[in-house]
Chain A
C-alpha cells in the first residue's frame, strides 16, 4: 500500500465537505457536480452560478497544483487518463468516449454522482442516495475487475 495517502485524502475530503457545506448553508444548493454540469444549458435560469462554480473549480485546481506541486498528478507528476486495456482491442479514445458517455448518461438518469449522492445525499440521510452510492460503487468495483483496466 505504498500509494496510500490517508492525511492528504482526509484533508482534501474535508475541503470538499467544506465546499458542499458552504453552498448548502449559503445558497441552499446541493454541490453535485453532475447536476451543476448537466444543467448548464438553457432554459435553466440558474446557469450563471453554475458557470461561476465550475470556472472557480478549474482555476483552484490549477492554482493548488502550482502552490503544492509535490502532491501528485497535475503537480510534479503529469495528469493522465488511463489507456484502454490491451486485451479488449479497443483504441483508448473510443474506450474513454464510451466511459464518458456512460458517466454523463448514468448520472443524469440517476440524478447524481459521487458528490451529489455520495457527499451531499448521504449527509442528508437520503435513502435514494444510499441506494445510488451502493449501486454505483459496487458496479464500478465489478467493472474494474472485469475490464482489468488497472
Chain B
C-alpha cells in the first residue's frame, strides 16, 4: 500500500509544512486580513487590502506549472496514479455548497486551511469554530454521497 510507505508520508509532511508556513507568511492566518480583502465596499475609501489576490496568484502560478509537469508523466513519484477528480458536472450541489461556504467565509474570514493552522495559536473561540466546521462536514457527508458513490450512481 503506497500510502503507508515512508517517501509517501514524508511528502505529505513536507507539503503540510510548506502549506502552514505559507499561510503564516502570507498572513492568511489572520481572519481580519482575509475579511479586509473581501470587503469590496472599502475600495472607494482606500481601506481595501488586495493581499489575498497576490497569495492566490502566486500559488496558482506554481501549481499551474506542476500540473503541466504532471501531464507528461504516467504517475506521481510515490503512487501508481494521479487522483484527479473524475466528476466534471457543474451541478446544483456544487453551486449550493459554494454559496453556503461563501456565507460562512464572509462571516468569519476563516476558510479550512487557516482554521486548522490557527491551532498553532489557539485564539479564543477557535475550538467552537473547528467543532462546528467538523460537524458541518460530517452532516454534509450524510446529505450528499461521496464522490465515489456518486460516480457509481451516475454510471447506472
**Contact partners of B102 in chain A: CB under 8 A:** 106, 135-140, 142-143
Whether A26 lies near B112 (C-beta < 8 A) is no
Is the pair A1, B46 in contact by a Cβ cutoff of 8 Å? yes
A residues near B70, Cβ cutoff 8 Å = 24-25
With A18-B62, A78-B121, A144-B39 known to touch, is A111 a contact of B129 (CB < 8 Å)? no
Q: What is the chain A residue whose CB lies nearest that of B102?
A: A139
Count chain A residues whose beta carbon lies closer than 8 angstroms to a beta carbon of B: 113
Tell me the chain B residues, 80-112 only, with Cβ under 8 Å from chain A: 81-85, 87-90, 93-112
**Which residue of B7, B36, B55, B119 has the most chain A CB atoms within 10 A of its CB atom?**
B55
Q: Is the CB of B18 within 8 A of A19?
A: yes
Which residues of chain A are within 8 angstroms of B128 by Cβ–Cβ distance? 93, 96-97, 100
**DSSP class of B's interface residues: helix, strand, loop or mixed?**
helix
- Which residue of the partner chain, among B42, B97, B113, contacts A110 with CB atoms under 8 Å? B97
Contacts A99-B108, A102-B136 given; does A79 touch B123 at CB 8 Å: yes
Q: Are B117 and A52 in touch, CB under 8 angstroms?
A: no
Closest Cβ of chain B: how far from A35's Cβ, in Å? 9
Q: Are A106 and B99 in contact (CB under 8 A)?
A: yes
Q: Which residues of A contact B111 (CB under 8 A)?
A: 33-34, 103, 113-115
Q: In the complex, A19 Cα to B23 Cα: how many Å?
A: 11
Interface residues of B (CB under 8 A from A): 1-4, 7-9, 11-33, 35-36, 38-42, 46-52, 54-67, 69-70, 73, 75-79, 81-85, 87-90, 93-113, 115-121, 123-126, 128-141, 143-144, 147
